[in-house]
Structure 1
Amino acid sequence: MRIASISLVKDEADILEGFVRHNLHFVDRMYIIDDRSTDNTPEILRRLTEETSAVRILEDGWTGAFHQARRTTAAMRLILKEEDWDIILPLDADELIRAADRSVFEADLAAIPQGMAGAFSEMRYLAGPEDDLSITDPLVRVRTALPHDPVGAFKSIATRQLLAEPTLAFDEGNHSILTHGIRVPTRSLPNVQLAHFAIRSVDQIAVKCLKHYVGWRSREDYTKNFVPTLVGGAEALKAEPRFALAPSAAIIPAYCDSYPLDQAADRPFVERRGALKWPELAVSPPYAQVIGLFDQLIARASAGDALVKAAGGEANAEAVSRVIAERNALQIEMDQLKTSTSRLAKAYWNAVVFRMRRSLRKRRYR
């Protein structure tokens, strides 16, 4: 059975090497998109790709708001063009496959009924006040886990049958799989879960909530129902009186609002596979990440101003909004054309690309 995973990662240096080395025991290739990380993530990925061909870096050129479903779906279609896969599954950098061995994993995957998607249930780990902070590796340091629902569908898994469907797409959060815009029925794996190291320290979860708050809130289709845990964590930070956060800061219960924190128990991640070769890179200074986020926002704002000026307009908020709306409408049209099988649509797509290139050349020489 040939299994591939897709991951979007951003500033995950503290867990990234452990994530890759562990999950390579269960998948044949890991495709990873680095979402403009500002910590040691790019260096860790560079070393891993030099060490093994089982790790591949994808470049999707995305610089805007956080559209996880669209980007994961696009990556899935890309890797299917390059190679044949029986299973494709999305994995975040804090998610590790928890199974006795690969044969158990493959047996669960093979038992997914025809016409259904597979899914992992979640075992969530979270940092606590009693953690030994002298241990830098979070897969060792973080020992507290919440009870998991064995039939809960936490992350989706696409089977060979579904991968043959041209309308296949992941939803936001990669919790479900859609065909023709309709959710595919799901069967959770009975003997395999995802160990989810969502909260590795108070600093880590604070920065994560801030970055995702920006990424999700900047989407043109944002609603309050998007990632309520991350937005709730960012809201909790607003009430903090100081920059320094205590281990008991309100952000953790806010982020875990729907989880039974009173049932948390000591459960070390004994299924851990692989050892770190570069523990010195496993650091993600929180302020460096926040300043890196500011730099990216500044670059996006400057690019928006430059684009409006190049089009002959004034770089005010209304003009930038019009350009963004035009870009989003064009993106939707382009996505529809890319997935269409009609010859007329393909001809029109070629015409659109030609028109865009000619327009860019004209603006370049103004």
Structure 2
Amino acid sequence: MTQPVRALDMAPCHSPRSAPFMRIASISLVKDEADILEGFVRHNLHFVDRMYIIDDRSTDNTPEILRRLCAESDAVRVLEDGWTGAFHQARRTTAAMRLIQKHEDWDIILPLDADEMICASDRAVFEEDLAAIPAGMAGAFAEMRYLAGPNDDMAIADPLTRVRQSLGYNPASVFKSLAPKALLKDATLAFDEGNHSLLSHGVRVPTHTLPRVPLAHFAIRSVDQIAVKCMKHYVGWRSREDYTANFVPTLVAGAQALRDEPRFALSPSAAIIPAYCAGYALEAAADRPFTERRGTLKWPELAVSPPYAQVIGLFDQLIARAAAGDALVKAAGGDMSADAVARVIAERNALQLEMDRLTASTSKLARAYWKAVGRRLFRSLRKRNLVKR
């Protein structure tokens, strides 16, 4: 029987730690999250041992905040996955999971978005819930969603302090998955889109939700923030070659709601918020400060993410892609046909695959051949005026 939505019972736990100490790592894919990023890292480091973060070409203060956090603590690591295309969250998070497990032994690996905070009274409670995940099952967090309201004091830069309106949470629901050590041995283990479930051989793994530890999800921190988020995700998801209408429907609905806005300036009651929160009982939101907050900001002056700067940054990335497309057309001899451009792309991809294979080889002959292939690729691109002489 589904348990009712309820507020989080945060009575302190005074029992001794019953579970053995676990090594826990998180993976995050972030983009233009400067307003919440420092708070996100400082809070969650009280519950995980290391945070691996991929910066997805941010245009705000996100890279600087990450640089400072990495300099301050070895528990924060920035991963470079080289991705420059559409938004493929599941593929990139899965690749990161496999990479970090290969280099270090973890008991739990969990994905966290930059607006998600582990909501527990202490780490012992968190580990006790993790230790209770049945064998062969994935773990999961329920969601406790926080929402910006019209009475928020926007002079407070820190959204973990400013945003107080929260919906209850259903302790039996599944919001975000996590992978226990036993499942990490499965070479086919993968996250689905949104990281809501784990898949083994393409089939969803049975899931056990942590009963006492949800994720506090600061999904809507201001109307400007959610408007820009919907626009960026609209571009990212819609540009995927495999996009279908069932991908992130709320984000797309939010972007569609912006079409009907008569002005750039949005009111706190703009239609984008109910469109993005379809299925949530917004009228049930209650005042609940995030009292589980851990850590304080050292650089509040960086916790800004101007909306227009982010939109212009998105335009710059789209312009770069269009310029690359023009370069391919030029390389194909000015022929605009899809076949001509496809031939250039296929040649480049074939050479890159060969170089990747040879780079991984320890053979002296292979390394020499790799250099020869590299020279061949350089000459091929130079003939097409894609690289400078």
TM-score if structure 2 supplies the norm length? Answer: 0.85
Hey, what's the Cα distance between the residues in 2 that align with 1:7 and 1:290?
22
Instruction: Quote the offset at 1:304 in angstroms.
Output: 2.2
Question: Does 2:93 align with 1:69?
Answer: no
Are 2:328 and 2:344, in contact at CA under 8 Å, matched by a contact in 1? no
Instruction: Give the letter aligned to residue 19 of structure 1.
Output: F
Aligned-residue CA RMSD in angstroms?
2.6
Q: Does 1:31 align with 2:48?
A: no
**Mapping 1:143-222, distance limit 5 Å:** 143-222=164-243
Partners of 1:274 and 1:4 in 2: how far apart? 18
**CA 320–28 in structure 1, closer or farther in 2 if over 3 Å, else same:** farther
Matching residue's letter, 2:303: A
Q: 1:355 to 1:195 in 2, by over 3 A?
A: farther
Amino acid at match of 1:318: A
Partner of 1:223: 244
1:106-117 correspondence to structure 2 within 5 Å: 106-117=127-138
Residues of 2 paired with 1:320 and 1:283: CA distance? 45
Report the AA paired with residue 305 of structure 1. D
Is the contact between residue 329 and residue 341 of structure 2 (CA under 8 Å) also seen in structure 1? no
Deviation per CA, 1:121-160: give whole Å up to 9, x if none: 0000010111111211100110001121111110000010
Displacement of 1:308: 3.8
- 1 CA distance for matches of 2:277 and 2:340? 36
Report percent identity of matched pairs. Answer: 74
Report the structure number with the largest CA radius of gyration.
2
Give the direction of change, closer, same or farther, for the CA distance of 1:309–1:24 in structure 2 (3 Å limit).
same
Structure 1's 68 and 358: CA in aligned 2 closer, same or farther, altered over 3 A? farther
Match of 1:314 among 334, 349, 355: 334
Point out 4+ residue stretches in structure 1 off by more than 4 angstroms: 323-327, 353-359
Equivalent residue letter for 1:179: S
* Separation in structure 2 between the aligned mates of residue 14 and residue 147 of structure 1, nearest angstrom: 24
Number of residues of Structure 1 aligned to a counterpart in Structure 2: 351
Q: Secondary structure in 2 aligned to 1:148?
A: coil
Alignment of structure 1 residues 49-64 onto 2, 5 Å: 49-64=70-85
Give the AA of the match of 1:314: G
The one-letter code sitting in structure 1 at the alignment partner of 2:52 is: Y
For 2:373 and 2:164, how far apart are their aligned partners in 1? Answer: 53
Following the alignment from structure 1 to structure 2, what is the Cα–Cα distance between the partners of residues 163 and 223? 29
Check whether the contact 1:115–1:162 (CA below 8 A) recurs between aligned residues: yes
2:38 corresponds to 1:17: yes
Partners of 1:223 and 1:356 in 2: how far apart? 38
What is the CA distance between 1:120 and its match in structure 2?
0.2
In structure 2, what is the Cα distance between the partners aligned to 1:323 and 1:52? 47
Distance 1:313 1:118 in 2: 54
